[in-house]
Amino acid sequence: MKTLVLGLGNPILTDDGVGVRVAEAVRAALPPTAAIEISEASVGGLELMERLLGFERVILIDALHGSRYRQPGAIHRMTLDDLRAISPTQHSASAHDTSLVTALDLARRMDFALPRELIIFAVETENIVDFNEEPTPAVAQAIPKVTEMVLAELDG
């Protein structure tokens, strides 16, 4: 199954880069294979959707900020439906880009080749406003755990 593991986020904005770090750790743990592409990106919405086209399975790792029960370092395994539930996409156009859910709905509407399987690992963050290359301790501790979860997902 043609798979993409994509770490999302900004690597110089403290915890926002958690997805990028997990992608790096996944890359280090796996022998290079043609079937699994491991990459990072600091994009959302349309550009992210375009990046997913042509893959059968996609695993995204991203930062999640400001959830109702804030617990930095907490890990959530989500599907697109979960994202839809927390995303206000259906009700609002964003000021700058559309959300991933809208972008994927758009792609579906246009019959683009979307992945059959989309899994999102979201890590709750503590700080995404300070420029720093190091994540906060709680988020740093989550990195090996999420890495294991992604590897298990790839095995399964």
Partner 1 sequence: MTKISIDPITRLEGHGRIDIFLNDDGNVKNAYFVVPELRGFEQFCVGRPAEEMPRITNRICGVCPEAHHMAGTKALDDMFKVEPSAAVKKVREMFYMAFYVTDHTTHFYALGGPDFVVGPEAPPAERNILGVIHKVGVDIGKQVIECRIRNHEVIKMLGGRGVHPVAGLPGGWSQAVTPEMQQQIQETAHKNVEFALFSLDLFAKLVLENQDYVDLVLSDAYAHQTYYMGMVDKNNHTNFYDGLIRVVDPDGAEFVKYDPHDYPQQVAERVEPWSYLKFPYLKKVGWKGFVDGKDSGVYCATPLSRLNAADGMATPKAQEAYEKMYDTLGSKKVNGRYQPVHFRLATHWARLVELLYAAERMLELVEDPEITDPKVRTTVKLPPTAPFKDIPGEGLEGVGCVEAPRGTLTHHYWGDEKGILKKVNMIVGTTNNYAPMAMSIKKAAEALITNGTVVTNGLLNKIEMAFRNYDPCLSCATHSLPGQMPLEVNIRDADGNVVEQMSQYTQGN
* Sites of contact with partner 1 (CB under 8 A): 8-13, 16, 41-47, 50, 62-68, 83, 86-103, 105-107, 109-110, 112, 120, 122, 125, 128-132
| CB-based contact 60:118 (threshold 8 Å) | yes
Q: How far is the CB of 139 from partner 1 (least distance, A)?
A: 11
Q: How far is the CB of 92 from partner 1 (least distance, A)?
A: 4
Q: How far is the CB of 110 from partner 1 (least distance, A)?
A: 5
Tell me the three state secondary structure of residue 42: coil
Q: How far is the CB of 22 from partner 1 (least distance, A)?
A: 14
- Return the number of the residue (35 or 130) whose C-beta is nearest partner 1: 130
Tell me the three state secondary structure of residue 97: coil
- Return the number of the residue (25 or 63) whose C-beta is nearest partner 1: 63
49 CB-side CA count, 13 A: 21
- Return the number of the residue (4 or 63) whose C-beta is nearest partner 1: 63
CA dihedral 150→151→152→154, nearest 10 degrees, is: 90
Orientation angle between helical segments 100-109 and 45-52, nearest 10 degrees: 50
- Return the number of the residue (106 or 140) whose C-beta is nearest partner 1: 106
Classify residue 96 as exposed, middle or buried by CB count within 10 Å of its CB (0-12, 13-18, 19+). exposed
- Return the number of the residue (35 or 129) whose C-beta is nearest partner 1: 129
Q: How far is the CB of 112 from partner 1 (least distance, A)?
A: 7
